[in-house]
Structure 1
Amino acid sequence: MYLNEVKTILIDVLNLGAAGQSLDADSPLLGSLPELDSMAVVTLIGALEDHFGIVVDDDDISASTFETLGSLAAFVAAKAG
């Protein structure tokens, strides 16, 4: 459920357009998408917080959270849980 919504937000925030449609749960994010820099991570977290009504603390965030689209969606699902 969360995977497609997170994917849509990721595509919007990073302006990936049609190229983003090929992303799946196993798609690597951090280090693989040049658009996902530190400022984009902050923007993405804000967008996820707004969309899902969650609060993400700085301590919650690690590189593993942004390892793949699936890991990011799982993180959001756990926060929204």
Structure 2
Amino acid sequence: MDTTDVTLTGVSEAITDVIGPDHSAGTLTADTLLFGALPELDSLALVELITVLEDRFGFEMDEDDINAEVFESVGSLAEYVRGQLG
């Protein structure tokens, strides 16, 4: 598995941890839309997701990066995380 797959899987798992497996088990793909499309991913869940991602991947998310472009889809979020990891 390459780093792209590992990051995508990690991001998908983090999202599932936050919104619960009943809502997303096995259904999240790179094309899955996030903020605004998943009702479970409200502003409180978004804060929790950011914390989970920071802990899981070992980086701190800059406030300027918390935007609709980064959180558009699982794939865009995974791409952002990969960028943070260098």
**Fold shared, TM-score > 0.5 on shorter chain:** yes
CA–CA separation in structure 2 for the residues paired with 1:16 and 1:35: 11
CA–CA separation in structure 1 for the residues paired with 2:23 and 2:41: 16
TM-score (norm 1): 0.92
Unaligned runs of 5+ in 2: 1-5
What's the CA shift string for 1:28-77, capped at 9, x where partnerless? 11111001011111100001001100011111211111101000000111
| 2:12 counterpart letter in structure 1 | K
Please, what is the CA RMSD of the aligned residues?
A: 1.2
Residue correspondence of structure 1 range 1-81 to structure 2 within 5 A: 1-17=6-22, 19-81=24-86
What secondary structure, in the 3-state scheme, does the structure 1 residue paired with 2:26 have? helix
**Number of equivalences:** 81
Unaligned runs of 5+ in 1: none
Q: In the TM superposition, what is the alpha-carbon distance from 1:17 to its structure 2 partner?
A: 3.1
Larger helix percent: 1
